[in-house]
Structure 1
Amino acid sequence: MVRDKLYITVPSLFRCPISMDVMRSPVSLCTGVTYDRSSIQYWLDSGHDTCPATMQTLPSKDFVPNLTLRRLINLWAQSNGPPSPASASPSVSDQNVRSMVEKIESGKSENLRDSMSKIVDLVTAGDENRRFLASFDGFVPAIVGVLSRGGARVEMEVLELAIAVLDSVVTENGVRERVHTSVSKRNYSCLSSICLILQKGSLKSKIESARVLESMAVNAEPSKRAIAENQDLFHALLHLLSSETDQNLQDAVLSSLIAVSVTHSAKAELVRSGLIQLLSQALLNPNTTNSVKEKGLKLLSMMSTCAEGRSAMRDWPECTRAVAERLMKVSRAGNEEAVTVLWSVCCLLGDKRGQEAVVKSNGVAKILLVMQSGYCEGHRIRRMCGDLVKVLSSGCKSAAGAAGLGFGLYESKTTHIMPC
């Protein structure tokens, strides 16, 4: 009976397919199978070019850390007691953190992977560990230093571990400021590594990189400008918008673009790179989440403040239609962004095709509803709504009537709503 009580069943998911031991540092091959890093590294170093579990030939021998599984193993070990010393939950202390920081700062490649793996174990083990690391003197600069070395000098796995650590601690008190200081002291050299992760990293690492970029730009004008002036970074973010369908990734990318698109040159570059078309398609896609649509409207509103953005919207009528269709289907802030875009195209630019697109999308009735339903509290937005109603009613009445759209119906049912 005692023996039965002491017996612990290890979930098969937590065992390495090679060693059959609980994985300490799970990593996934391109086949999707996860192994303990030491086991699969030995297999690959021995000359094999296949996945041990499936025997598929590997088009790439790269592997990425499975941080979610690592976290689950740590939680399971804490609840059930570790079946072996290798799976024990890591402890944090001044001495061991200082030792890891010194190894990272030494720049020796043989120290980086092991030290970064241990740090990831620490930050994922609990909130207390994360707060301890975030406040440890020299910790944040050391992690930023890994990204700043980057390129051929640091393996992709180590870069992904470093970005995962930054993403975990950046919201802790005072960390964002230390990140800004460390990044600027290194002349923003870490941006090259972040760009590389956005291009070649795992889905999780791409999301973390976009979030770190957003954090770097918050309340830090120099960081915003440094990111905005890095065209490779901008193009990597735009490529993710066009090529990836994961909504969490798109949400993170849009947040980072909103945070850094502060200069006219940055906005113009985004417009030239096809941002207007991408956002229009996202707004019209029924599978796009509300959060992505709201952020898409925010970014379109920002683009409408520059001549290049308005011109692109004029040349792409689908944009105006997509924005008009989102009216009254988003939050108050989203409606205000949508009204701003429509006003910029239809009133400021005076685009006839844009005006017709709004009418065909029943946009006039929606604008009137925005005015009367309290969806716009500011005088500026109410004035824009009034301008839109006047322009659309005078400029598109004949076109709408010719198309059988019944523009008079809007007037007969909404005469109690007076434009501002």
Structure 2
Amino acid sequence: MVKEELYITVPSVFRCPISLDVMKSPVSLCTGVTYDRSSIQKWLESGHDTCPATMQVLPSKDFIPNLTLHRLINLWIQSSTLRPGSNSPRLLPATPPAISEVQAKLLMEKVEREGCVDSLSKVAEFVSCCEENRKFVARFDGFVEVIAGVLKRKCVEIKALETAVRILDLILSENGVTEGLNKLILKSNQESKFLSAIVLILQHGSLNSKIKSVRVLDSLALDSESKRRISDSQDLISILLQLLKTNNNESLNDAVTSILTTISITRSVRSRLIENGIVEIPSNSLTEKSLKLLATLSTCSEGRSAISSEPKCAAAIVEKLLKLSKTGTEDAVTVLWSTCCLNKEEKVKEAVVKGNGVTKILVIMQREGEGNVKMMCRDLVKALRAVCKDWCLGSYETKTTHIRPC
């Protein structure tokens, strides 16, 4: 027979503000705040001259035993104890936040001083607990700076870098975090150290860490200057391309494709990606993220030529054409329009017609309102007219409300 375990709730006043454990020897500072003796001694002996809870400077580091609270705690413990031979009750864990503000300050100091995995892991565990905790640390003065600082240090072990990235990834959606990180890293001329840490994770980190590091990097590319600073890292671009070529994890590939699309704002970056065979990769496994990248590449002549010369690309796009979101559809039509109407590639036109692309383009044209997508679809129909043998497109009226062959 399984014995039931009993739990009791600890009154918050009985917990030490630093350790969150029930106080064994409560003592009060001159500020009136009570702590467990061992916890406050460690705080003061480490060189602090402030009250951890209020951060007031202490005119005196002396403390006195809080005898009244000590008696209350002892009475509470005695009344909570079961009869001899029974199971002892367990204390309920502290409700979130699982660490106090004082503990957070101590952890931050330790992370800033040592960057150790143990302290970072405690922070990561706390942050991953719930939304309340994420908001707590995002508002915590200096928190983001300390975690970002780990990624700008030299000779930090990979596990610490991975944990720091995990923490940042968890709080990216909190108000002001990405802007703060952007200013701390990409606007402070320290991006080379940060990007070196990201490269190290991409080379030697776990799969999840690689995904998170790319997501963090992508979130920091808020403006053209930030994108340029990221794209200037030759090692980073090479590793991202290598990951796309050798990795078959969809989440990682989507993250990598997204950041490559984000930083492809200059012709030189796009040219470099094209020279390294970027067009061949999404042709084998087309996703909406890779369609966005292809649409970006198709804005330059080298990109259009590369897409046109890849035989699988147009066929893969046509096959997905009616299965995409509105944004994905726009990107797909943009790529087909760029290759068929701007480059006028006959092989691409043939691939589109062969995949029943004309019908699909007509369907898209009919369901779209007036706009760029509809205009590109009209141009595509005209460009494909000569190739299509089975449809009498010469008399097709693009303003009709029904699709039917003549």
Instruction: Using structure 2 for the length normalisation, give the TM-score.
Output: 0.72
Sort the Cα spacing of 1:327 and 1:410 in 2 relative to 1 into closer, same or farther, 3 A.
farther
Matched, 1:384 2:376: yes
Provide the rounded CA distance (Å) in 1 between the counterparts of 2:103 and 2:120: 13
Provide the rounded CA distance (Å) in 1 between the counterparts of 2:136 and 2:378: 55
Aligned residue pairs, count: 318
Counterpart in the other structure of 2:290: 296
Provide the rounded CA distance (Å) in 2 between the counterparts of 1:417 and 1:156: 59
Instruction: Map 1:2-401 to 2 at 5 A.
Output: 4-6=3-5, 91-106=98-113, 108=114, 112-150=116-154, 153-183=155-185, 184-188=187-191, 189-217=193-221, 219-283=222-286, 293-372=287-366, 374=367, 376-394=368-386, 396-397=387-388
Sort the Cα spacing of 1:187 and 1:387 in 2 relative to 1 into closer, same or farther, 3 A.
same
Larger radius of gyration: 2
Provide the rounded CA distance (Å) in 2 between the counterparts of 1:91 and 1:334: 42
Q: Residue type of the partner of 2:5?
A: L
Q: Residue type of the partner of 1:253?
A: V
Kindly state the Cα deviation for residue 345 of structure 1 after the two structures are TM-superposed: 0.6
Provide the rounded CA distance (Å) in 2 between the counterparts of 1:306 and 1:196: 32
**Cα shift readout 1:33-69 (whole Å, capped 9, x = no counterpart):** xxxxxxxxxxxxxxxxxxxxxxxxxxxxxxxxxxxxx
CA contact (8 A) 2:257 2:289 kept: yes
Provide the rounded CA distance (Å) in 2 between the counterparts of 1:383 and 1:252: 31
**Cα shift readout 1:233-269 (whole Å, capped 9, x = no counterpart):** 1222222222222222222222222322222222112
Sort the Cα spacing of 1:260 and 1:383 in 2 relative to 1 into closer, same or farther, 3 A.
same
CA contact (8 A) 1:364 1:410 kept: no
Kindly state the Cα deviation for residue 170 of structure 1 after the two structures are TM-superposed: 1.3
**Cα shift readout 1:267-316 (whole Å, capped 9, x = no counterpart):** 11211121111011112xxxxxxxxx111111111110012211111221
Q: 2:391 aligned to 389, 403, 409, which one?
A: 409
Kindly state the Cα deviation for residue 131 of structure 1 after the two structures are TM-superposed: 1.2
**Cα shift readout 1:88-121 (whole Å, capped 9, x = no counterpart):** 9873333222222222222x3xx52222122112
Provide the rounded CA distance (Å) in 2 between the counterparts of 1:82 and 1:302: 63
Sort the Cα spacing of 1:363 and 1:194 in 2 relative to 1 into closer, same or farther, 3 A.
same
SS in 1 for 2:116: helix
CA contact (8 A) 2:152 2:197 kept: yes
C-alpha RMSD of the superposition: 2.8
Point out where structure 2 has 5 or more consecutive residues left out of the alignment: 8-87, 401-406
Q: Residue type of the partner of 2:109?
A: E
CA contact (8 A) 1:365 1:410 kept: no
Kindly state the Cα deviation for residue 186 of structure 1 after the two structures are TM-superposed: 4.7
Q: Residue type of the partner of 2:385?
A: S
Provide the rounded CA distance (Å) in 1 between the counterparts of 2:253 and 2:94: 35
